[in-house]
Amino acid sequence: MRFSFLPLPCFGLFARLAFLGACVSVGLSHTALGQAAHPAAPHPAAPHQAAVTALMVSDIHFDPFHDPEQAKALAAAPPERWRAILEKPASANQKEAFDALQQTCHARGVDTPYTLFNSSLKAMRTQAGDAKFMTVSGDLIAHAFTCRYAKVFPAAAPGDYEAFVVKTIDFVVGQLRAAFPGMPVYVSLGNNDSGCGDYKLDAGGSFLTGAGHAIAAALPASQRLEALKQLGPAGYYSIKMAAPMQDTRLIVVNDLVMSSKYTTCAGKPDPAPAETELAWLKQQLDKAQAAGEKVWVMGHIPPGIDPYSTVAKLRNVCAGKTPSEFLADDKMADLLVDHAAAIRLGIFAHTHMDELRLLQPEGDAAATGGGNVAIKMVSSISPVDGNVPSFTIARVNPATAELVDYEVVKAANMTGVDEAGASAPWTLEYDYAKTYHQPEFTPAALKTLVGNFTTDKDAATAESQAYIRNYFVGDMSRELTPFWPEYVCALDHYSAKGFAACVCAAK
């Protein structure tokens, strides 16, 4: 889920000035705050092996209510019959009914109808037909799902809403599986993926059992039962990735419960699920590290600072205001840097933007050692924020489990179809290695890249300009340019204290 964008052409300069406000030097340079301290433990050498193709997809936000009349047929049908229903001609009053639904639910944009979802699947098959696996980092269903359902089904019985959410998730995952038969599809849940509402969840509830079956069905057959045992109670799981990946463990977190916005379905805060999951995560990381396994960690909401929200809310961090953070605390980030020797990649999303992060030891983690972790944040299929739909084609070394390179592929327009209703072309947005001149997406490479961004405070270099242009797929450079130095501080400072020190350091 992404907050709506603000009109930054006028807002940008004002926000940046207010954000910096009475900034004073805290006597710490950017380098002293962690760029040089606690370097990542060197990864053991592995035999050279050709990279394989993988797909990274996120924030699909499929909307079964795009044609409200069709939604009634979907509710009465099993997920395996949905495609036939959705491929029928639109209802006579589709546009009027959908517009009314958008207005009632105060929608900020349009999520992903079946035509766009289907167009993205065709593009994935065309451009990454040799993919060995796919990662899907959360938010499978549309925004304002509860409002849409209530409007279309005002007389629904208790439990019907949850059943429809589960069927929607089942359909989305099923379509991904059908597009690449037999290929592992590794899925995490997002904050919208709930049987009772955005950022709401009951640990051990029936929703997680239903969604867990859909997610487990997309995994390698040998891993399904083990994953299902973990998914049902809490929505997270840890499994060995299938060949060609070698000795690589995928740990999938359900970090909705780690958000400060999280409540139970009854609307009550509850810290217990996050505490239980963090204990489980530490146990999984400890075991993987002791076994010499390479680790990928995937979730939806990234750890660290939310720089856009910090600026939008005029948080003057130099005057002691706390910056906005994606999660309620730094505990997950601390765990990741503590186990950096084993972790090869973190995959998150949530912002709908194409981004990166470098976790470096800060706060308590800095005192106990640790290393650096490379984080890839995957852009969205959904065009709800005015962005162009996109997905990522990755190149992965299966022996080292390192992300070697990736390409971001974008739709021709926000709908994914042409004027005749046929799938429109999807084309290359950019290539990571060619654009940023880095040999791989590793902590060392990101350290160099973010360091280059840090010294380029005016965003004058080709690399900085490329990042700003590609951050919002479809290019809205004005979104990032006004607060580039502040944004860069968020790339490699995940704690509030470290971020504030970076922003307010003497220039």
Work out whether the CA dihedral 269, 275, 281, 284 comes out positive or negative.
negative
Distance from C-alpha of 485 to C-alpha of 324, rounded to nearest angstrom = 16
**Residue 416 half-sphere exposure, CB side, CA atoms within 13 Å?**
25
Q: Kind and range of the H or E element at 134?
A: strand 133-137
pLDDT digits (tens, 9 = 90+) for 44-81: 434 446 899 999 999 999 999 999 999 999 999 999 99
CA geometry: angle at 390 spanning 162 and 405, to 5°?
A: 115
Predicted confidence at residue 407, as pLDDT, reads: 98
Predicted confidence at residue 445, as pLDDT, reads: 97
Distance from C-alpha of 146 to C-alpha of 162, rounded to nearest angstrom = 10
Quick one: tokens of 69? 């009349």
Which residue has 């709506």 as its token pair? 4
**Mean per-residue pLDDT, 488-501:** 96
Predicted confidence at residue 476, as pLDDT, reads: 80
Burial class of residue 165 (count of CB atoms within 10 Å of its CB; 0-12, 13-18, 19+) = buried
Predicted confidence at residue 478, as pLDDT, reads: 77
Q: Global pTM?
A: 0.91
Phi, psi (deg, nearest 5) at residue 428:
-70, 130
**Which of the four pLDDT bands, split at 50, 70 and 90, describes residue 209?**
very high
Q: What is the DSSP string of 358-374?
A: EE---HHHHHT----EE
Residues 6+ apart with CB under 8 A from 132: 52, 53, 54, 183, 184, 244, 245, 398
pLDDT digits (tens, 9 = 90+) for 380-411: 999 999 999 999 999 999 999 999 999 999 99
pLDDT digits (tens, 9 = 90+) for 407-425: 999 999 999 999 988 999 9
Domain segments of the chain as ranges: 8-42+58-504
pLDDT at 379 over 80: yes
Give which of 348, 352, 332 is closest to 284, Cα–Cα: 332
Predicted confidence at residue 311, as pLDDT, reads: 87
Distance from C-alpha of 371 to C-alpha of 365, rounded to nearest angstrom = 9
Predicted confidence at residue 365, as pLDDT, reads: 57
Quick one: tokens of 491? 């790339």
Distance from C-alpha of 390 to C-alpha of 404, rounded to nearest angstrom = 20
CA geometry: angle at 343 spanning 339 and 345, to 5°?
A: 140
pLDDT at 22 over 60: no
382-to-102, 170, 311, 431 alpha-carbon distances in Å:
15, 18, 24, 21
pLDDT digits (tens, 9 = 90+) for 258-278: 999 999 999 999 999 999 999
Predicted confidence at residue 148, as pLDDT, reads: 98
Predicted confidence at residue 507, as pLDDT, reads: 53
